[in-house]
Amino acid sequence: MLTSTQNPRIKHLLLLQQKSSQRKADGLFVVEGRREVEHCLTAGYTIRTAFVCEEIADASLSLPKGVEIVPVSRNVYERIAYRGGTEGIVAVVNTKKTTLADLRLSSSPLIVVLESVEKPGNLGAVLRSADAAGADAVIVCDPLTDLYNPNLIRSAVGALFTVPCVACSTEECIAFFKEKGIKILTAQLQDSHLYYDTPMTGPTAIVMGTEATGLTPQWRRAADAHIRIPMLGHLDSLNVSVSAAILLYEAVRQRQNVE
């Protein structure tokens, strides 16, 4: 049992949590909590090591053969766990590279695109909404945050492993949509129509930019339609995760009415 927070393995785990460069160099990331670990396994990720506090761990959690299980003391677990109530397990997992070509889309896909998203918490929240709405994928173009950032994984509550998530360039994404015949709807205030007046029943990509600067001209030019959410107060923008949820569920509503 590891009982010291100065143990080299614990120090390395903390580096994986804190440093994107370390995660990229090692091809590893950290997942905390039973639910997240189970989603991770279901999605086909390979767990390298599971650090388990047997004092609080759920004995019913079953890990695949070959996973190294390292018992840790409660004080070590409290150092490596960001939040309580995570069932005493923190896992080190191999990363996976998912590309646009890997996506298995439905006959009428619904996709969310985020351009240059900065805050991992926002991306995690969008992934949760995408999962709830049954979206085919979330695509992050020119990302400014690491897809395996611990804050993203925590805020997504496992949705990073239930919704295919791809990072690519804007150019690659636009070319992919044009090739697949997927309609591009850009969320923007200028030269736009109300979102509920815009058809979303066919193959659809909902594209959003940062709250500070919005979308780049490249997306605006590539769009098949520009859509907006009515702003009836004094401010002119919503949090990107809130906007994504509104637009996704409008697509769900339209598709259910068609059925």
Q: How confident is the model at residue 127 (pLDDT cuts 50, 70, 90)?
A: very high
**Where exactly does CATH 3.40.1280.10 map onto the chain?**
100-258
Cβ burial 223-252 (10 Å sphere, 16+ → b, else e): bebbbbbeeeeeeeebebbebbbebbebbb
Q: How much is the pLDDT for 214?
A: 81
Per-residue pLDDT band at 224 (split at 50, 70, 90): very high
Residue 239 has pLDDT above 70, yes or no: yes
C-alpha–C-alpha distance, residues 215 and 39, integer Å: 32
Please check whether residue 186 is in contact with residue 207, taking contact to mean a CB–CB distance below 8 angstroms: yes
> What pLDDT shows up at residue 118?
85
Average pLDDT, the chain: 93
pTM for the full model? 0.93
Cα separation values, 214 from 104, 111, 183, 237, Å: 29, 18, 19, 9
- Provide CATH 3.30.1330.30 ranges for the chain: 8-94
Structure tokens at 12: 């390395």
Maximum mean pLDDT: which of 56-60, 86-90, 178-182? 178-182
Query: Confidence band (pLDDT; 50, 70, 90) for 85?
Result: low
**CATH architecture label of 8-94:** 2-Layer Sandwich (3.30)
Amino acid 137: pLDDT: 98
Sheet (strand 225-228) strand order: 165-168, 137-141, 110-115, 204-208, 183-187, 225-228, 193-194
**Digit-coded pLDDT (tens) for 21-79:** 999 999 999 999 888 999 999 999 999 999 999 888 876 678 999 999 999 999 999 99
Q: Please give the average per-residue pLDDT across 187-199, as a whole number.
A: 94
Interatomic CA distance for residues 141 and 99, integer angstroms: 12
User: Per-residue confidence at 238, pLDDT binned at 50, 70, 90?
Assistant: confident
- Check pLDDT > 80 for residue 212: no
Fold classified for 100-258: Alpha/beta knot (3.40.1280)
Q: What is the mean pLDDT of residues 124-142?
A: 97
Question: How many CB atoms sit inside 10 A of residue 5's CB?
Answer: 15
